[in-house]
Chain A
Amino acid sequence: MKDKYAIVGVGYTPQGKLPGRSSLSFHLEAGVNAIQDAGIDPKEVDGIICYRHFPPASGEKDVTPYLVAQHLGLKPTYLAQDAN
């Protein structure tokens, strides 16, 4: 598998102390920016992995890969929640 796969998009968000923003909003902004950075059609994204999982903050939704897919308007083949 050497040199068979590549990292083609990297998405950043503002970072530091940013009160009033939900965890989900950071997932989405980073995801949109990664898609734009890669320059691919969002429809090409057919797998979503949410990296790590934390208890939802008070007043926030639990961040799941299907929630991320829904908000990005995607219908992926594969969804997972994992570290590494």
Chain B
Amino acid sequence: MEKPRPVIGPDNAFFWEGCKRRQLVFQKCKSCGHVRWPPAHVCPKCLEYDWEEIVSSGQGIIYSYVIYHFPYHPGFREELPYVVALVDLMEGPRVLTNIIECDSSALACDLPVEIVWDEEGEIPIPKFRLRKA
């Protein structure tokens, strides 16, 4: 079975459009400067609406990570075991992603990571790998 692909709606369209250009794009509030994630219609810090796009450096650290050993979705059965992580980006947002190209025993919270684009589907998916010191 196919893996779930991005479902684009009015709130997250800017994000996946950015991915098509291989850019990790976030909403930055024009009023208070807060960089928000997940996509939001109104800034949760100051309740203002206007925002501009910023492009992330793709550099961050692992806040937390887990290793899936159970196929919740048949599309991921072949990938097991795989790593899902929360990555704190330098620009502020914490994103849910995969850590790839690594032995999971090498992972730890607070390790530095960098973006790597997964080109498997029609839209490139932002994933991360350990950054060499």
Query: Do A and B touch, yes or no (CB under 8 Å, in the complex)?
Result: no
Interface residues of A (CB under 8 A from B): none
Chain B interface residues (CB < 8 Å from chain A): none
